Chains A and B, each alone.
Chain A
Amino acid sequence: MELIEAIILAVLAASTPLLIAATGELVTERSGVLNLGVEGMMIVGAACGFAGAWLTGSIFIGALFGIIAGTLMSLVFALMALGLAVNQVATGLALTILGIGLSGLIGAGFVGERITPAMHLYIPGLTDIPLIGRVLFGEDAFVYFSLALIIGVWWFLYRTRPGLILRACGDNHVSAHALGYPVLRIRTFAVMFGGACAGLAGAYLPLAYTPFFIPGMTAGRGWIALALVVFSSWRPGRLVVGAYLFGAVTILQLHAQGWGVGIPSQFMSALPYLATVIVLVLLSRARTGGSTAPAALGTVFVPDR
């Protein structure tokens, strides 16, 4: 029982940064913009988030720093890819390289410092319920916020008019423009939301997951988040499934190794990727069959007038 609870807690912690970053990228891509710079925005968010928390002693301000840093990074992307209509793939890759370097510079003075990680919730009575208590009421605030965030994004995209307009920009920017919607402004906001989420996801790492800063500590999580968006066929529900499945298989394969299951560890390490890809592909084939990518994804839009 205790082991199951421990595993679930570890899964929550491992999945949360992926879910937050992927939620942001989902909105960005739904508006028709492909920002491959998630890893770069995340790592800058991690450095600034740690810096903020270390300087002020507040995890909340640290998270805020992370969000602001991620947003600023995404503005660089927006300026290049939307304002100057530069190739989005190249700009995104450049943003990642810039982010990795920049975060090393920002974080250089903080390497080796420690902070007190984010508090875990404690509600007397509720948190003490065996098995589910600590899972539902005893994790750090980031975990619950990430779930609220994805529900909010689902509601926004499918239940509100601005969400519909945002999706329209992603599917056919010429028509959206013809209807009088400010395509580039909407896309800039979507890119900024993506940046804010990536920054927060990055900040989660040094603020709650492993409470110290080390250059390169995102270790490819931004890329995994990007892949999750694609494999979830740009749908919030499947994104949650994908992120938690990835986290769950990651943690379970570690436990399986500890139990001495005789499968080569290299295969075990590949399992999270395999399982996530297979399940999400099956999910998307079962329903629609065709491609569900935003039709204008990654294409440059220059308003003609």
Chain B
Amino acid sequence: MRKSLLALTAGLLLAGSISAASAADKLKVGFIYLGPVGDLGWTYQHELARQALVKELGDKIETTFLENVPEGPDAERSIEQLVRAGNKLIFTTSFGYMDPTLKVAKKYPNVHFEHATGYKRNPNMSTYSAKWYQGRYIQGLIAAKMSKSGVLGYIGSFPIPEVVSGINATILAAQTINPNIKVKIIWANTWFDPGKEADAAKALIDQGADVIMQHTDSPAAMQIASERGKLAFGQDSEMIKFGPKTQLTSILDTWGPTTSPASRPSSTAPGSPRTAGAVSTAICSRWRPTPTCLTT
């Protein structure tokens, strides 16, 4: 960790990517958030990473975030706003920011962009992601073992690579336990709408699913599963509060460790894809009664 911080500061000074005169060698880092920081899921975990970054680097950096930025062309304005405010490193933290980020990146070659989970890159725009499918595989194994009805319910957000790979991993894993297992998939077509996520969970349970998985961001599905006495998996962050006897385990996105190395724009090959890898995709298994942490 320390090493990467030193590398960051040294790298930046050597590369001269910020003018020495301005801002007293403070690197300004901007974040574009999809949801509110209190969503208890995806954005919340990114916010924790931002806080970790601030804690690590102290007054060497200055961070700003914009929350509730809708995906799509309109995000361009928000990203550009961060550029104009003098941010030299910008994290665009959701898949749907890919094209807008690329557009802004081409316009401002001196600013570095880190985009989450996409596939388009530029010399000054990299991708970061995590090996979620590994966690999903483990969830698939657990779900198939725990399911009595042989029907699993899966709430998807959007049919994009990170979600589809997770569903595939779940099904492949579940089939190794029970070849006849059924996985019912409902696409919510939103990342965050507690009411709709709850409705999707109700529909899946009403159709016979007894283990609910989700790739959406609020704990609504967990809460419904808890109300109906079914089992569920948390998403992005710990959701055990919403189903103390319901949550089997939770995929935990710990961005902290990846955010720091990613903040070295000049010391790693620019434009290269990154996976969070070993450190960050920690699957915290709150397998009752003793919590254990598996690392993928």
Question: What is A's interface to B at a CB cutoff of 8 Å?
Answer: 3, 6-7, 10, 13-14, 17, 100, 104, 107-108, 111-112, 114, 117, 205, 209-212, 214-217, 219-221, 250-251, 254-255, 257-260, 265-266, 268-269
Q: Is the CB of B184 within 8 A of A210?
A: no
A272 to B195, CA, bound (A): 15
CA distance A265 to B189 in the complex (A): 7
Majority secondary structure, B binding face: mixed
B207 near A269 with CB under 8 A, answer no
Determine the chain B residues whose CB is within 8 A of the CB of A114 once the complex forms.
223, 241-242
Mark contacts of B127-169 with chain A using CB atoms, 8 A cut-off: 1 yes-contact digit, 0 otherwise. Answer: 0000000000000000000000000010010010000000000
The residue of chain B having its C-beta at the shortest distance from the C-beta of A269 within the complex is B189
Contact of A216 among B39, B188, B219 (CB under 8 A): B39
**Contact of B186 with A254 in the complex, beta carbons under 8 Å:** yes
Closest to A111 in B: B38
**Docked pose: A259 CA to B208 CA in angstroms:** 11
B195 pairs with A210, CB closer than 8 A = yes
Q: Is the CB of B38 within 8 A of A205?
A: no
Q: Is the CB of B223 within 8 A of A211?
A: yes
Check A210 against B38 for contact (C-beta < 8 Å). no
**Contact between A210 and B35 (Cβ–Cβ < 8 Å)?**
no
Q: Say which residue of A100, A104, A260 sits within 8 Å of B38 (CB atoms).
A: A104
Q: Which of B39, B185, B188, B220 is close to A210, meaning CB atoms less than 8 Å apart?
A: B220
15 pairs, A vs B, C-beta closer than 8 Å: A10-B206, A14-B195, A14-B199, A104-B38, A114-B242, A209-B194, A214-B218, A216-B68, A216-B192, A219-B196, A220-B193, A221-B195, A251-B203, A258-B185, A265-B187
Residues on A with C-beta less than 8 A from B40 are 111-112, 214
**Interfacial residues, chain B to chain A (CB-CB below 8 A):** 35-40, 68, 153, 156, 159, 184-190, 192-196, 198-200, 202-204, 206-207, 218-220, 223-224, 227, 241-242
- Find chain A residues with CB under 8 A from B227 CB: 117
* Residues of chain B with a CB closer than 8 A to A112's CB: 40, 241
B207 touches which one: A108, A216, A255, A268 (CB < 8 A)? A255
Contacting A215 at CB < 8 Å: which of B39, B204, B241, B242?
Answer: B39
Interchain nearest-CB distance for B268 vs A (Å): 35
Distance (Å) between the CB of A44 and the closest chain B CB? 14
Q: A residues within 8 A CB of B202?
A: 6, 10
Contact (Cβ within 8 A) A258 B38: no
The 3 A-B pairs with the shortest beta carbon distances in the complex, nearest first, are A265-B187, A215-B36, A269-B189
Please measure, in the bound complex, the distance between the C-alpha atom of A216 and the C-alpha atom of B33, giving whole angstroms: 13
Output the least CB separation between B139 and chain A (Å).
Answer: 19
Given A111-B38, A210-B220, A212-B219, residue A258 in contact with residue B203 (CB < 8 A): yes
B194 touches A210 (CB 8 A): yes
Taking A205-B195, A269-B190 as known contacts, 8 extra A-B pairs with beta carbons closer than 8 A to each other, sorted by chain A number, are A3-B207, A209-B195, A210-B224, A216-B192, A221-B195, A254-B200, A258-B203, A269-B188
Taking CB atoms, residues of chain B closer than 8 Å to A17 are 195
Q: Which chain B residues border A111 with CB–CB below 8 Å?
A: 38, 40
Partner of A257, one of B36, B39, B187, B195: B187
Q: Are B190 and A216 in contact (CB-based, < 8 A)?
A: no
Complex Cα–Cα for A17 and B193 (A) = 14
B153 partner residues in chain A, CB cutoff 8 A: 258
